[in-house]
Amino acid sequence: MRCDVCGNDYDKAFQVIQGGKSWTFDSLECAIEATAPRCSHCRCRIIGHGLEKDGAMYCCAHCAKHDGATELRDRA
């Protein structure tokens, strides 16, 4: 199967289905690039749970605070 991100034809490729859309990837790196949201402040890929406020996603409370979401915490 051919990776939808890098085009590599790999015998150990896998598929991910998210929200009714299906992709084929040859690595977790490509899967993350295609599906993980970006932090609204620093633009890094959010691999873990992240934080969300009013539709904006953040990788951590520090970034959320910079955008005015001071009530968000990394740990509850």
Rounded to an integer, what is the distance from CA 20 to the centroid of its chain?
17
Tens digit of each residue's pLDDT (9 = 90 or more) over 17-71: 988 999 999 999 999 999 999 999 999 999 998 999 999 999 999 999 999 999 9
User: CA of 7: how far to CAs of 23, 74, 75, 76, in Å?
Assistant: 12, 36, 39, 41
- Give the pLDDT confidence score for residue 73 in this predicted structure: 87
Q: Are residues 48 and 62 in the same domain?
A: yes
Q: Are residues 42 and 74 in the same domain?
A: yes
Q: Which domain holds residue 23?
A: 1-35
- Give the pLDDT confidence score for residue 76 in this predicted structure: 60
Structure tokens given for 59: 């990788």
Q: Are residues 58 and 76 in the same domain?
A: yes
Instruction: Work out how many domains the chain is built from and give that number.
Output: 2
Residue environment code for 2-33, b if the CB has 16+ CB neighbours within 10 A, otherwise e: ebbbeeeeeeebeeeeeeeeebbbbbeebbee
